Structure 1
């Protein structure tokens, strides 16, 4: 079963976007190869729901966070090697010799470039294999080829590098030109006998690229690693969570369980509600990827997906108002929850597109109804603190707020969660401080 996160959620949390410098993807994108970039993209698009797979990937990233490593390969050379392997296939040494002899003859008679490109491709493959041999020797000397995440790469590298005919080519001076018979033999080995093993080695090298890159981010940002539990555990415990894009973000802790599945969040404008909610969604999404998280500690039971409603747009083409778009969003979540899916839900300022009376009634009714789905976790924020008072009879709703401290006529925000409901409303104070009324 795949983890659910629709476009609205991905956009709300700014999770994807390799060309968006503010995205979470870009935060981790320090890979050096095109294949590594594609693999990183796949990981972001496909969070996992298998406990063992999540914890296994997390353990690999943790290892490379704790054991710094440099990725030793150049993207251009690996790309050239992959292109050569994908463009060529050879069935026998004899056919290889005939093909190479023909291409060399054409190069001399008509200046055909095929033979030259062949030589370039072979040299690129040799360069990568020489670098693999150097890396494998270091890994084995340090004893990392057994019992560490290096083992999978080392095994695939050894399958090629320990072939009886490999040493003759790898020990050649790098600047030497391959003779026709050598080039033909090497072509057969690369594009025939070793081809599948080489492609597996390249894939393992792409994985190594991602592991080293993500591990470096975790080390630099002081990220930790979550521990996943089966769905039946039905809990989430997060300590000192912050938004991963804020190096000096204020940490907050929160949790969910069957007996406390709704976090009802109040606070004034600019108090930090949206940032906290986005941080919690990003936290859970990255945790299901097995990636580092911006928290001191996170333990969670695996869920089926996440839905958010932070920046719900209207739709002029369909004639949807902002309020109706909000209603459709809540309806979508209600449908998913009613099907028995375990979901993490973020509602930021429910029904802000309508009048206060309707917003009060709708927020109260929807929150009370969602609280009954105890295998789902909800964070619901609102400015209408009166709703909270009406929800106090529901035992699974926990009330928290982000306070505002007034220093004279200037509000200061602590960004630290407190238990309870706040009645803070500083909208008019901010308007007055900006001198808008004086202008008018």
Structure 2
């Protein structure tokens, strides 16, 4: 069982994508190794469902953030280690010796450089492994707790690098005159005998790369660490929640519980509704990954998934209009909600692809129906403020919030700060007039 976030939701919130501008993945992708980036990508594609697992990962990020440690290797350095240990090797020492002797002879006769490449790779790998050993010992010296987060992994690395078979690492001296026999002995040991445990060391250093990079970003951005609660408590509380990818984003409080599990959001165009909803959705997703969140404080009940409907495209190939695409999206979400899953649902401007009367009736009916599922959390935005007035009288679990517009004469300004109530802003024609569109057409 895994956390549900379908393609539409991931695209709405711009979660994934190394090459997508302003994606959340790119914000956190400050790692230095290829293996670290791969691990980070896997984490982004697999949010967690267990509150204990979420809090453990979060605690690791907090630990490394408190230490403010720098990852000691560049991508180039660590790639040398991975390439060397990942290359093929003979199954026994004699075969290794014979193979290297042949390569050395070829190097002398026809200037074949493969033997020198192996020797250089061996020397670089030994140097990096010694650096790994020093780094782990420094981490141990700085730990304040008896068993800090990530202690078991650090102990695993320490035990592998302290293996008696690797005792020679500390006294090894880099020299161009290393004999063929010693080169073969150490090459066979590292690339065959100790390959599996050294692969574990590399994997743990990939984890260190991710934890140190993400912790550093959290420190730089002033992010906090959300606390996960068991699924049944149906709670979400955030203080000063904002969009993590927007510099100096305006922050807002968000508070849900069993008796108040839906926000009905109104406000003018450009007042910030979509940005607020995306900020909420992104932080919900990050929190389920155990990652730092853009909030001063956050605690939440673990959910089973997240659905959004923000930028629903039409599908001309299938013959779908924009309105029908919206309807199909709402149907898909309704199917998931009706299965009694604990979900987070975000709808931005329901049914904007149809006429005002149908949009009013549909928004009112669908919102009222969804509000009966109190195991889920909903944010639904609309321009149809009349629907909010009816819902306020009929439903007791809906928070009516709006994002205001302040008029400076005929010029609108936006606070991006949530206010209780329903928006009464109707400034569309004023904005059109400010842009001089009607004058152009005279």
**TM-score, structure 1 length as denominator?**
0.96
| Separation of aligned partners in 1, 2:436 and 2:301 | 50
Q: Does 2:245 correspond to 1:239?
A: no
Cα contact 2:130–2:169 (8 A) shared by 1: no
Question: Which residue of structure 1 lines up, in the alignment, with residue 106 of structure 2?
Answer: 106
Give runs of aligned pairs for residues 264-413 of structure 1, distance below 5 A. 264-392=264-392, 393-413=394-414
Q: 1:256 to 1:160 in 2, by over 3 A?
A: same
| Separation of aligned partners in 1, 2:148 and 2:181 | 40
Give runs of aligned pairs for residues 27-106 of structure 1, distance below 5 A. 27-106=27-106
Q: Counterpart of 2:164 in 1: which secondary structure?
A: coil
**What do residues 127-159 of structure 1 show as CA deviations (whole Å, max 9, x unaligned)?**
211211221332233346952245344323323
Q: Counterpart of 1:366 in 2: which secondary structure?
A: helix
Question: Which residue of structure 1 lines up, in the alignment, with residue 129 of structure 2?
Answer: 129
Cα distance, 1:418 vs structure 2: 1.0
Q: Counterpart of 1:254 in 2: which secondary structure?
A: strand
Q: 1:175 to 1:151 in 2, by over 3 A?
A: farther
Cα distance, 1:285 vs structure 2: 0.2
**What do residues 152-201 of structure 1 show as CA deviations (whole Å, max 9, x unaligned)?**
44323323332334243442333444311111111121122211110000
| Separation of aligned partners in 2, 1:347 and 1:177 | 69
Q: 1:202 to 1:177 in 2, by over 3 A?
A: farther
Q: Does 2:421 correspond to 1:420?
A: yes
Cα contact 1:139–1:150 (8 A) shared by 2: no
Question: Which residue of structure 2 lines up, in the alignment, with residue 256 of structure 1?
Answer: 256
Cα contact 2:260–2:399 (8 A) shared by 1: yes
Identify unmatched segments of 5+ residues in structure 1.
none
Cα distance, 1:80 vs structure 2: 2.1
| Separation of aligned partners in 2, 1:145 and 1:190 | 33
Cα distance, 1:92 vs structure 2: 2.8
| Separation of aligned partners in 2, 1:313 and 1:348 | 13
Q: Counterpart of 1:306 in 2: which secondary structure?
A: strand
| Separation of aligned partners in 2, 1:389 and 1:140 | 60
| Separation of aligned partners in 1, 2:163 and 2:374 | 58
| Separation of aligned partners in 2, 1:94 and 1:84 | 20
**What do residues 75-109 of structure 1 show as CA deviations (whole Å, max 9, x unaligned)?**
12221221222222443333322332232233333
Cα contact 1:18–1:25 (8 A) shared by 2: yes
Instruction: Name whichever of 426-435 and 109-118 sits farther off.
Output: 109-118
Cα distance, 1:13 vs structure 2: 0.6
Q: Counterpart of 2:351 in 1: which secondary structure?
A: coil
| Separation of aligned partners in 1, 2:198 and 2:103 | 24
Question: Which residue of structure 2 lines up, in the alignment, with residue 431 of structure 1?
Answer: 432
Q: 1:369 to 1:131 in 2, by over 3 A?
A: same
**TM-score, structure 2 length as denominator?**
0.96
| Separation of aligned partners in 1, 2:370 and 2:440 | 45
| Separation of aligned partners in 1, 2:423 and 2:395 | 18
**What do residues 397-428 of structure 1 show as CA deviations (whole Å, max 9, x unaligned)?**
11111111122111121111111111211111
Question: Which residue of structure 2 lines up, in the alignment, with residue 159 of structure 1?
Answer: 159
Q: Counterpart of 1:39 in 2: which secondary structure?
A: helix
